[in-house]
């Protein structure tokens, strides 16, 4: 599933290509992805200018004067800006045609993505209303994580993956950040000290920043805007490396399941 770095990579790729363009046509080839697409989407968008492209957690927000188009890429969806005349492929479900002759094309093989029209403030929508802070927000630091973790018996890895606590830390990036901070992913969240949470907050920001700079992490399906894969997979230190030597001590990387997710770690370096 595309995580925050992959979604941010997509946002940065499409933003300069569509901002300021006027919508001339909307083609909806599949009426329902994860949820139904508004039947009046073409009527609503035609003639409107795209004011900007923002991201909240794993959601992309296309801003218009009359509201916001919220897009979620689901398990394997992606967006492309292509000439409008480009023939649609099997899984190209929605085209938003633009005044420069191009179109924003939404491809989603598994149909777990979403395209919703929000006429009001998107932050009030149920999908966004209860989300925690962004990892690069000023209020997201070690002190914040420490306070939110008090009394929590859940393991620290699923704790930092809880979108109500903090958005954008998916399975890959949680494993990598905990390794850099030297924290065992199995440790109870409430048992981690303030000092270590400060290290973890910094590690989360660094891992995500490096992943964004590398264009995300291609494990199976993700491709950035333009079709290029993400290259952060080449920088992974523990994720997907079960049995390989730890880059810190040389002992084998282990894997356990936490919250039904594979968690990679070094039992020697992470305490």
Q: Which residues does the annotation mark as catalytic? A: 2-3, 58, 261
Q: Which residues are documented as binding site?
A: 91, 110, 152
Cβ atoms within 10 Å, residue 197: 24
The residue assigned the tokens 């919703």 is 116
Q: Which residues are documented as binding site for DNA?
A: 91, 110, 152
Helices within the chain (DSSP H only): 4-18, 41-45, 126-129, 142-149, 156-161, 171-181, 194-213
The rounded distance, in Å, linking the Cα atoms of 175 and 39 is: 41
Of the candidates 220, 225, 215, 176, the one whose C-alpha atom is nearest the C-alpha of residue 60 is 225
Strand partners, 263: 256
Q: Which residues contact 97 (CB under 8 A, 6 or more apart)?
A: 23, 24, 25, 26, 27, 84, 103
Cβ atoms within 10 Å, residue 98: 21
The torsion angles phi and psi of 28, rounded to 5 degrees, stand at -110, 110
């Amino acid at each position: 599933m595309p995580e925050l770095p992959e979604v941010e990579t997509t946002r940065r790729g499409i933003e300069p290509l569509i901002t300021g363009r006027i919508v001339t046509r909307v083609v909806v080839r599949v009426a329902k992805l994860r949820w139904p697409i508004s039947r009046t989407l073409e009527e609503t968008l035609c003639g409107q200018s795209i004011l900007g492209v923002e991201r909240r957690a794993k959601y992309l927000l296309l801003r218009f004067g009359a509201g916001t188009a919220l897009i979620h890429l689901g398990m394997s969806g992606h967006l492309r800006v292509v000439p409008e005349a480009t023939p649609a492929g099997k899984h190209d479900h929605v085209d938003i045609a633009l005044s420069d002759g191009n179109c924003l094309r939404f491809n989603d093989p598994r149909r777990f993505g979403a395209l919703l029209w929000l006429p009001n403030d998107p932050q009030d929508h149920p999908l966004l209303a209860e989300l925690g802070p962004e990892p690069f927000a000023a209020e997201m630091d070690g002190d914040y994580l420490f306070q939110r973790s008090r009394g929590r018996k859940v393991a620290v890895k699923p704790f930092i993956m809880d979108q109500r606590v903090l958005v954008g830390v998916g399975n890959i990036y949680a494993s990598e950040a905990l390794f850099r901070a030297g924290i065992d992913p199995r440790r109870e969240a409430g048992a981690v000290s303030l000092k270590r949470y400060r290290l973890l907050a910094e590690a989360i920001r660094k891992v995500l920043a490096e992943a964004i700079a590398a264009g995300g992490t291609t494990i199976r399906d993700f491709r950035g805007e333009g079709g290029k894969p993400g290259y952060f997979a080449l920088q992974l230190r523990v994720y997907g490396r079960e049995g390989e030597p730890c880059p810190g001590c040389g002992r084998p990387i282990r894997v356990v399941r936490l919250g039904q997710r594979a968690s990679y770690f070094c039992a020697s370096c992470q305490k």
